Amino acid sequence: MSKKHRKTDERQKAGTTGVTNSPDRSAAAARRKAPSSSLWAAATSEIAGTAPALVAAHLPAPVAAADGIVTVAPGRRFDLAEVDANADGSLDKDWAKAALATERARIQALQEKLYAERQRSLLVVFQAIDTGGKDGTIRAVFEGVNPQGCSVASFKVPSIEERDHDFLWRYHQRTPARGMIGVFNRSHYEDVLVVRVKDLVPEPVWQARYGLINDFERLLTESGTHILKFFLHISKDEQKERLEARIADPEKHWKFDPADLVERKSWDAYQTAFSDALTRCSTPHAPWYVVPANRKWFRNLIIARTIADTLEAMDPRFPEAQAGVAEMTVPD
């Protein structure tokens, strides 16, 4: 039975379908293979020593995304129109909100171990059209995570200094250090999205970037950074409602950007650019996950669950204590 099917089977046995609280996570953890001790020792000594580490051996293959998320199969032509932005897995909204708290707690506990271990890192990329819900997702999913172990980078229109470097320069500086979870609110993908739609560089320049992005992500992966890429998919009607809500509510005026109305006219061009980026940059080590995102509570739950499952598969561990610590006493 494949991992995905086994998971589904476990959930069905628990009397539920779709996204659930897993019935027995400790059993699942016990089934997982521990890293080979020699590799583990090698990586540990790299931490203590000076050698730059290539710790790809410690990164698990991407986990099966939570039910409801569409994984873009590497090498297959993908069209965003295939995904129903309204999907909600037939879940109950209140139940889903409670389940989100469980997933958050898993993320918090695993993040503490990732931070203590200080060997690998996790990069979580969010892309979406304007009003797609990137900020809200980050707030909902990472609430309660120790801020010391987490960094969020939001990418805006590049500065002159950023434009005077290669397009990946500004992103590479913000990738997570060992032990950290790094969140990208927009990312290097903007350079094949807004840049393409608004014709900001000649076509041969943006065309070459898909391959460069794949190479960049391979470099990160082979250096010990596990990459998760979520595309939040909303419908055109949903965007209209969200923009209207920002206009109607004075407390949301700060979120309203008149430029979003101009960008909305390029809706179709953005959908094409998104579909191309997802097709060309979904790789075995860093696949794209497309999230039905009209229902915020469903979006939050399935993203949180996928992040928690990924951290669990990474299996971070507290470092071994120094010999004799348990017997030590603190002088008066």
Q: Which stretch binds Mg ion (CB under 5 A): 217-225, 231-239, 249-257, 301-309?
A: 249-257
Interaction of residue 168 with ligand AMP, rule CB under 6 A:
no
Interaction pattern, residues 10-49, with ligand AMP; x per rule: CB under 6 A: ----------------------------------------
User: Which one of 47, 56, 194, 269 is in contact with ligand AMP (CB under 6 A)?
Assistant: 194
Interaction of residue 249 with Mg ion, rule CB under 5 A:
no
Q: How many angstroms separate the CA atoms of 186 and 125, rounded? A: 7
Q: What's the per-residue H, E or C state across 187-243?
A: CHHHHHCHHHHCCCCCHHHHHHHHHHHHHHHHHHHHCCEEEEEEEEECCHHHHHHHH
- Minimum distance from CB of 130 to Mg ion (Å)? 5
Q: How many angstroms separate the CA atoms of 332 and 324, rounded? A: 19
**Lookup result for tokens 């928690």:** 308
- Amino acid, single-letter form, for residue 93: K
Phi, psi of 124 (to 5 degrees): -115, 115
User: Which one of 10, 42, 86, 155 is in contact with ligand AMP (CB under 6 A)?
Assistant: 155
- Amino acid, single-letter form, for residue 173: Q
User: Which one of 195, 234, 281, 311 is in contact with ligand AMP (CB under 6 A)?
Assistant: 195
Calculate the dihedral angle through the C-alpha atoms of 70, 76, 77, 80, rounding to the nearest 10 degrees. Answer: 0
Choose among 177, 118, 171, 106: nearest CA to 144. 106
- Minimum distance from CB of 246 to ligand AMP (Å)? 11
Residue 238: name its binding partner from ligand AMP, Mg ion, none (Cβ under 5 to 8 Å by kind): none
Q: Are 327 and 269 in contact (CB under 8 A)?
A: no
User: Which one of 190, 238, 276, 312 is in contact with ligand AMP (CB under 6 A)?
Assistant: 190
Q: Which is nearer to Mg ion, 9 or 257 (CB)?
A: 257
User: Which one of 103, 191, 217, 312 is in contact with ligand AMP (CB under 6 A)?
Assistant: 191
Q: Which stretch binds ligand AMP (CB under 6 A): 191-199, 243-251, 302-310, 314-322?
A: 191-199
The continuous run of DSSP H or E covering 279 comes out as helix 267-280
Beta bridge partners of 184: 125, 153
In the chain the first and final C-alpha atoms are separated, in Å, by: 59
Q: Which is nearer to ligand AMP, 178 or 186 (CB)?
A: 186
For Mg ion, the binding residues (CB under 5 A) are 130, 257
For ligand AMP, the binding residues (CB under 6 A) are 155-158, 186, 190-191, 194-195
